[in-house]
Amino acid sequence: MALVGCHECDAVVEEPEVPDGGAAICGRCGGTLFRRQRQTVEFTLALAMAAAILFVVANAYPFLSFEMQGQVTQTTLGSGAAALWEQGRYAVAALVFLTTILAPALQIGLLLYVVAPIHFRLRVPGAVIAFRWVERCRPWSMMEVFLIGIMVALVKLADMADILPGLALWAFALLIPILAGTSAFLDREIVWREIGDLE
């Protein structure tokens, strides 16, 4: 039997059975021990699908267009990382690729691979490993840091060139709160239980 601690009064109790959408209340102080998200799979699936579409748009369309002395240069997420690589900044290029492309792609892809079959009651191989990797990818997904960096660069470059934000930039900006939303709605306990039920 698992034990849970009360955040309010530090009481340690055996973890009670709680229905989805319910909450466990501390018997000593009345504080909330934990909640079970209602429809966590459906919310997470919907947000992960939206995130997948935005991620494709963020990578397929131009991120920024620069116009300098009549010359227009377009950059995409991938070409930004590639340009850093060509300049010999291998560590920075690898880090940008990992934190803005690879980690979010794995996080979204694996999340879909785990929650979509739960919703449709299908059994898929490797769901346990996939869900573990969703959690492992999360700390490496740092698109908001990248976006702040882009904004700083934009302010500095604004005097030198005309800069037009591309479709990908808007998709990217929207993707950040949606991906945060998948984490907020995701009730790990429920997903683990559902994976166990399907095995």
Q: Which stretch binds Zn ion (CB under 5 A): 11-19, 72-80, 96-104, 110-118?
A: 11-19
Contact between 4 and Zn ion per CB under 5 A? no
The amino acid at residue 93 is A
Which tokens in the block code for residue 31?
Answer: 């504080």
Specify which residues 4 forms β-bridges with: 13
If you compute the radius of gyration of the chain from its CA atoms, what whole number of angstroms results? 21
Compare residues 23 and 198 and give the one whose CB is closer to Zn ion: 23
Which tokens in the block code for residue 96?
Answer: 């940008």
Compare residues 9 and 129 and give the one whose CB is closer to Zn ion: 9
Q: Which stretch binds Zn ion (CB under 5 A): 8-16, 66-74, 112-120, 152-160?
A: 8-16
End-to-end CA distance of the chain: 21
Compare residues 29 and 198 and give the one whose CB is closer to Zn ion: 29
Within a 10 A sphere around the Cβ of 52, how many other Cβ atoms? Answer: 18
Task: Give the sign of the dihedral formed by CA 43, CA 44, CA 45, CA 47.
Answer: positive
Q: What part of residues 146-185 is at the interface with Zn ion (CB under 5 A)? A: none
Q: What part of residues 49-68 is at the interface with Zn ion (CB under 5 A)? A: none
From its phi and psi, is residue 88 left (phi > 0), alpha (psi between -120 and 50) or beta?
left
For Zn ion, how many residues bind (rule: CB under 5 A)? 8
Contact between 196 and Zn ion per CB under 5 A? no
Task: Give the sign of the dihedral formed by CA 47, CA 116, CA 133, CA 167.
Answer: negative
Contact between 9 and Zn ion per CB under 5 A? yes
Compare residues 31 and 149 and give the one whose CB is closer to Zn ion: 31
Compare residues 8 and 42 and give the one whose CB is closer to Zn ion: 8
Q: What part of residues 20-39 is at the interface with Zn ion (CB under 5 A)? A: 26, 28-29, 31
Contact residues toward Zn ion (CB under 5 A) are: 6, 8-9, 11, 26, 28-29, 31
